[in-house]
């Protein structure tokens, strides 16, 4: 019996974009403060191999790093205001370039129309889709006041300001993508595990398959991985030099999909 490895499934029609020389798939994760974006992103990372980039976390790290923008960013966050786009976009872009992954969850961005337009102009990236965690202010307020992570903006005064910024500036971004049929709205008021069941169904095309080598003497992992990595569509060449589809590969007697 051979060993087990994760292999990606074919994802047809998913938007892929350019970041310098790098092709990436981006999902924007939006929703009000405390709607559960970060919590669900952690689940998606674990199950679907995305890299989570939280705009808020990147800005907080920038404050800690002692950067020249640190004081300005800290003041904006304390007031629940949106930091100028060029600052946040630079942080996101650098993080994507540095990371070897090609699938990113961008959480808490774009926060306003300026964020959105500037990101598209600078990176030429448009999202494959947008996850929108929909939750009442009453529930979000309860969660934020109970979060207990020492955040300077988790106090009732700043929370109210953040709710207003969300309604005035962030909802129009969601409406923009909704008009393009790119929004997947999720009822985020439910318990964490129930929300993730819905998220899971949305990300199903990105699921990883386990593959088991049944006859390691007849087929090597190197050969299988060569086939799977041949190109993005996972069309693969057979040993006879012809073209072997992924379906045929997965039906091969020497391997099984688990």
Ligand X SMILES: Nc1ccn([C@@H]2O[C@H](COP(=O)(O)O)[C@@H](O)[C@H]2O)c(=O)n1
- Residue 239 among known ligand-binding residues: no
Quote the least distance from Cβ 85 to ligand ATP, whole Å.
Answer: 18
E strand or H helix that includes residue 179: helix 171-179
Contact assessment for residue 175 and residue 112, using Cβ atoms and an 8 Å cutoff: no
DSSP characters over 22-82: EEEEEEEEEESTTSSHHHHHHHHHHHH-PEEEEHHHHHHHHHHTT-TTHHHHHHHHHHTPP
By CB under 6 A, residue 169 contacts ligand ATP: no
Which residues within the stretch 61-80 sit at the binding site for ligand X (CB under 6 A)? 76-77, 80
Task: Please tell me whether 242 is known to bind a ligand.
Answer: no
DSSP code of 155?
S
Kindly indicate which of the ranges 8-16, 31-39, 177-185, 209-217 contains the residues binding ligand ATP, using the contact rule CB under 6 A: 31-39
Give the helix, strand, coil percentages of the chain, each rounded to 5.
45, 20, 35
**Under a CB-based contact definition with an 8 Å cutoff, are residues 135 and 35 in contact?**
yes
Q: Which is nearer to ligand X, 135 or 211 (CB)?
A: 135
Residue 236 binding: pick among ligand X, ligand ATP, none (C-beta 5-8 Å cut-off by kind): none
Binding region for a ribonucleoside 5'-phosphate: 60, 81-83, 108-111, 151, 162
- Would you tell me which residues interact with ligand X (CB under 6 A)? 33, 54-56, 59, 76-77, 80-83, 88, 108-109, 111, 115, 153, 162
């Amino acid at each position: 019996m051979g060993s087990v490895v994760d292999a990606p499934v074919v994802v047809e029609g998913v938007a892929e974009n350019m970041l310098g020389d790098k092709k990436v798939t981006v999902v924007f994760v939006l929703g009000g403060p405390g709607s559960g974006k970060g919590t669900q992103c952690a689940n998606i990372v674990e199950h679907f191999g995305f890299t989570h980039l939280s705009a808020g976390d990147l800005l907080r790290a920038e404050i800690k790093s002692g950067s020249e923008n640190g004081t300005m960013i800290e003041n904006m966050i304390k007031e629940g205001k949106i930091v100028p786009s060029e600052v946040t976009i630079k942080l996101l872009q650098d993080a994507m370039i540095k990371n070897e992954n090609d699938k990113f969850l961008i959480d808490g961005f774009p926060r306003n129309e300026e964020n959105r337009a500037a990101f598209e102009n600078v990176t030429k990236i448009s999202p494959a889709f947008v996850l929108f965690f929909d939750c009442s202010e009453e529930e979000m307020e309860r969660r934020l006041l109970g979060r207990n992570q020492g955040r300077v903006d988790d106090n009732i005064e700043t929370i109210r300001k953040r709710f207003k910024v969300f309604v005035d500036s962030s909802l129009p971004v969601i409406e923009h993508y909704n008009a393009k049929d790119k929004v997947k709205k999720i009822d985020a008021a439910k318990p964490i595990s129930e929300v993730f069941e819905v998220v899971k169904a949305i990300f199903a095309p990105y699921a990883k398959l386990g593959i088991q080598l049944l006859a390691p003497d007849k087929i090597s992992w190197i050969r299988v991985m060569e086939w799977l990595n041949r190109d993005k569509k996972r069309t693969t060449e057979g040993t006879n030099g012809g073209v072997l589809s992924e379906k045929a590969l997965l039906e091969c007697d020497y391997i099984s999909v688990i």
